[in-house]
Amino acid sequence: MKLFRLPAVKRHAGCLMNRSIRNLYLLAALFSMASCVAVAERHEDVISRSWPASSIHRLDLTEINGSVDVSAGPADTITLVAHVRARGVAPDPAKENKGYFESSVEGDTLAIGRREHREFRLPFIFSTKDVSVDYDIKVPPQLDLELRTVNGRIATRGTAGEMEAVTVNGSIDLESAGIREVSAKTVNGRVKARFLQSFQGASFKTVNGGVMAVLPPTASFACDLSQVNGDFEAAFPLNIHSRPGSRRVSGEVNGGEHELRIVTVNGDVEIESGSGAMALPPTPPAPQAAPAPAIPGVPPVPAPPAPPSQST
């Protein structure tokens, strides 16, 4: 009985070569896509808009990448100056705001900004489109504000309406008359708020950042503060309850009429007493005029003699 041995399967060099060529093509494709990102066309633009404010009582602004600055302006007009930086997205003159963001009046609300747009792409495919919009807006002081962004700071000056400010990566710096409630929330950034005239309640929350609130001395509030890591300072008499890993602060000031709620994980908390707008640096004194230089060969002019004293 004869046993037959099957021939061994040999790995051909051609298979290895095909795999190497395939890897080279894939590597070339990745480099090509990366180069597309590097050479994507960039655009910068400034867009100015205005709206009559007689029938608008609320501003709703939503952005993805960009800062938001809102300050008090004339009572009859809302003005906007948007600074746009784009990569791979060209302006479209046929569209409103050149296609970079939307703006519309819906009832008594002026809506401005961009909603988050998700596009499908493979994990190793780089995006060649990027738009950032920084908003500078002047509004009537009494306008209610709802301000939201993902990557960017939010700041207000001199406003008096109800306010809600939310960001993920950025600081929040608010200045309000304090005659309406105020809310501010961020994940990575500090929260700072100053109330100029009164205090009608506020809520501040952050994860990685401190909180500073400046209230009028006559503010009537009940404080509810929760803190994990950080120092605490207050210019008002409050009860502090500390235990390992957390701190709780509570207390009523001037009757405790309105709620002040503060939550932070990693950051210091300051509650100060003050009034008025942000202090400006003192104006430096005007420089004194330097004496005139002497002219060679010309003697200096003597000072005039003093008048004679009158005798009685």
Over the stretch 65-79, which tens digit does the pLDDT of each residue have?
999 999 999 999 999
DSSP result, 159-197: B-S-EEEE-SBS-EEEEE-SSS-EEEE-SBS-EEEEESS
Element (H or E) spanning 22, and its range?
helix 13-38
The confidence score (pLDDT) of residue 121 equals 46
Count Cβ atoms below 10 Å from residue 130 Cβ, excluding itself: 14
What single letter denotes the amino acid at residue 3?
A: L
Position 122 scores a pLDDT of 45
| Tokens representing residue 177 in the block | 């008359």
* Residue 300 confidence class, pLDDT cut points 50, 70, 90: low
Distance CA 192, CA 212 (A): 5
The pLDDT, as a whole number, for residue 247 is: 85
Domain definitions of the chain by residue range: 153-277
- Beta partners for 80? 49, 137
110, 61 in Cβ contact below 8 A? no
Lowest mean pLDDT among 15-29, 57-71, 124-138: 15-29
Residue 241 is predicted with a pLDDT of 77
pLDDT band, residue 124 (cuts 50/70/90): very low
pLDDT mean across residues, the chain: 82
pLDDT classification of 303: cutoffs 50, 70, 90: low
**Is the per-residue pLDDT at 289 higher than 70?**
no
For residues 264 and 205, give the distance between their C-alpha atoms in angstroms, rounded to a whole number: 6
Do β-strands 130-139 and 77-87 pair in parallel, antiparallel, or remain unpaired? antiparallel
* Residues 215-229 pLDDT 10s: 999 999 999 999 999
pLDDT at res. 302: 57
Stated pTM of the model = 0.73
Mean pLDDT (whole number) for 132-160: 97
Rounded distance between C-alpha atoms, residue 223 and residue 259, angstroms: 6
Alpha-carbon dihedral 256, 257, 263, 264, rounded to 10 degrees: -60
Average pLDDT over residues 36-60: 87
pLDDT of residue 280: 38
Q: What pLDDT score was predicted for residue 37?
A: 46
Q: For residues 208 and 247, which has the higher predicted lDDT (pLDDT)?
A: 208
pLDDT at residue 244, rounded to an integer: 67
- The pLDDT tens digits of the residues spanning 242-286 come to 766 678 899 999 999 999 999 999 999 999 998 655 443 444 454
